[in-house]
């Protein structure tokens, strides 16, 4: 396959970085297609844990080119720090290219982000979004309002100054903006240092496609946080879907060969928003503790709960997943029984299996209908070593039954399983063989 995309299928933090890193071993280019420093892809290497924010995981592989694509919003000062830290640790092994079309997150965007979320909380305590305050939303807003500054413009001082003056004129209400002269100087300086990596990346990718070189698109955030199809307004500001990954990389849709959806064997969510299968009791705390569920970027504790097949079916339809990667199955090891949400009971007493409410307020009112699956043993070191040696045949039979249930319920085969935090703790079940089906859709009437 030439072009594959790895996408989050839940609310984020599904170990996409781990799966993307696993697949990057067979890639020539790894392209990050959207988002910015609000996400952290955590990868367990023999040298220790590394968290990538604005550089794709291709940077960790010799002979691979890591591209930060045109769909991203990039904070150049933090990007430079990230690259220098990779160099310090000896982990900058692949080439880094930055799209000249990617937009720049400015310090004023970070200030605006914090100001906006505080304003929401002051006006209505329940309306705060719980953003990372990384400037993502304001940067994308300026991008679409056509006030934005792109990476390729940092090397043009006169144009940069003109764009900054226009941008400052649009933000008279944002307090404590940095002096424009100081910011213009700092941007020009960092732009000159990054300039050798800034390129028109889409022709490079097109040439790779023509030569049949393998390309991996690395998604950030996840389908249920999509600005249009997620739990609006508790969403991100971009399109973390298969269509968004193509748009954010410059790859035509006809070139996509595979779309891999990544989901945990349970689920988590960071920040505010509806979460039907959240478990606020002891079992949810167990998932948080055993799974190490804290945000890689903010360190905030994640809300934890159970696998939601209604939302997973929806994400599969939306993205056209050709297979699934189910991660962190080891976190559920040792549990006698595992609940899985198979449907929603709606306020009128009816049930829905395929179509979640489009309004966040309505999604917050559904009652999950659970099926109970038998658990599997803990993943001790000996069990992990056996899986490394024997492959998928060494997975516990009850875990295989759990994975088969997910495939049957979604119509998408499980192709990869992550059973630990480290790079080599992933196993391939084999190429997709389950025939995809279309279950009857049930419409939501609000």
Q: Average pLDDT of each block of 10 consecutive residues along the chain (446 residues)? A: 93 94 96 92 92 96 98 97 97 98 96 86 73 89 96 95 95 92 96 97 97 96 95 93 97 97 97 95 96 79 97 97 98 97 95 92 97 96 94 96 97 97 92 50 38
CB contact at 8 A, 417 and 427: yes
Q: Which one from 13, 21, 308, 330 is the annotated catalytic residue?
A: 13
Q: Apex CA 302: angle with CA 299 and CA 307, to 5°?
A: 145
Give the pLDDT confidence score for residue 434 in this predicted structure.
43
pLDDT of residue 430: 80
| pLDDT for the residue numbered 296 | 64
Instruction: Note if 226 is an active site residue.
Output: no
Full DSSP string of 175-231? TTPPPHHHHHHHHHHHHHHHGGGEE-HHHHHHHHHHHT--EEEE--S-GGG-TTTSS
Tell me how far apart the alpha carbons of residues 18 and 419 are, in angstroms, rounded to a whole number: 11
Q: What is the pLDDT of residue 40?
A: 85
- Give the pLDDT confidence score for residue 131 in this predicted structure: 75
In this prediction the pTM is 0.92
Domains of the chain: 3-71+210-428 (3.90.170.10), 103-196 (1.10.300.10)
Lookup: tokens for 28: 């020539």
- How high is the pLDDT of residue 439? 43
Q: Please give the pLDDT value at position 310.
A: 98
Query: How do beta strands 73-74 and 41-45 pair?
Result: unpaired
Q: How far is CA 437 from CA 130, 253, 351, 362, in A?
A: 37, 22, 21, 28
Q: Pseudo-torsion of CA 300, 301, 303, 307, nearest 10°?
A: 110
What pLDDT sits at residue 442? 42
- The token duo for 130 is 């719980």
> Could you give phi then psi for residue 281, rounded to 5 degrees?
-95, -155
Residue 53 among the catalytic residues: no
Catalytic residue among 41, 53, 103, 109: 41
Instruction: Give the pLDDT score at 440.
Output: 41
Tokens of 33: 């297609």
For 324, phi then psi, to 5°, come to: -120, 150
Residue 162 in contact with residue 148, Cβ under 8 Å?
no
């Amino acid at each position: 396959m030439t072009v594959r995309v790895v996408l989050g299928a839940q609310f984020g933090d599904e170990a996409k970085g781990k799966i993307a890193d696993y697949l990057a071993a067979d890639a020539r280019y790894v392209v990050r297609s959207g988002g910015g420093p609000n996400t952290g892809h955590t990868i367990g290497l023999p040298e220790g844990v590394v968290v990538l924010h604005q550089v794709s995981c291709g940077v960790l592989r010799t002979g691979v080119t890591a591209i930060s694509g045109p769909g991203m919003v990039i904070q150049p000062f933090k990007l430079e720090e990230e690259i220098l830290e990779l160099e310090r640790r000896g982990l900058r092994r692949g080439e880094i290219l930055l799209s000249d079309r990617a937009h720049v997150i400015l310090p004023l965007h970070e200030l605006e982000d914090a100001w906006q979320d505080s304003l929401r909380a002051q006006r209505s305590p329940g309306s705060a979004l719980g953003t990372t305050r990384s400037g993502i939303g304001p940067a994308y807003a300026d991008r679409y309002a056509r006030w934005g500054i792109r990476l390729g413009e940092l090397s043009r001082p006169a144009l940069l100054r003109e764009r900054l003056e226009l941008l400052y004129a649009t933000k008279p209400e944002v307090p404590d903006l940095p002096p424009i002269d100081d910011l213009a100087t700092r941007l020009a300086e960092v732009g000159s240092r990054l300039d050798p990596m800034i390129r028109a990346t889409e022709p490079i990718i097109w040439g790779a496609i023509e030569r049949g070189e393998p390309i991996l698109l690395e998604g950030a955030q996840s389908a249920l946080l999509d600005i249009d199809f997620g739990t609006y307004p508790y969403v991100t500001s971009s399109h973390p879907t298969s269509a968004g990954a193509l748009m954010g990389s410059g790859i035509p849709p006809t070139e996509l060969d595979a779309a891999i959806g990544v989901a945990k064997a349970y689920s988590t969510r960071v920040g505010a928003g509806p979460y039907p299968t959240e478990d606020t009791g002891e079992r949810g705390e167990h998932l948080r503790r055993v799974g190490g569920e804290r945000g890689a970027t903010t360190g905030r504790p994640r809300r934890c709960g159970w696998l939601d097949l209604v939302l997973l079916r929806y994400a599969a339809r939306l993205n056209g997943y050709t297979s699934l990667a189910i991660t962190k199955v080891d976190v559920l090891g040792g549990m006698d029984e595992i609940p899985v949400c198979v449907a929603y009971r709606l306020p009128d007493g009816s049930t829905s299996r395929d179509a979640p409410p489009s309004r966040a307020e309505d999604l917050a009112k559904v009652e999950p209908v659970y099926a109970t699956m038998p658990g599997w043993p803990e993943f001790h070191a000996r069990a992990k070593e056996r899986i490394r040696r024997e492959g998928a045949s060494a997975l516990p039979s009850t875990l295989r039954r759990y994975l088969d249930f997910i495939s049957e319920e979604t119509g998408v085969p499980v192709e990869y399983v992550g059973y630990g935090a480290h790079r080599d703790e992933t196993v391939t079940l084999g190429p997709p063989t389950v025939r995809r089906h279309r279950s009857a859709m049930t419409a939501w009437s609000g």
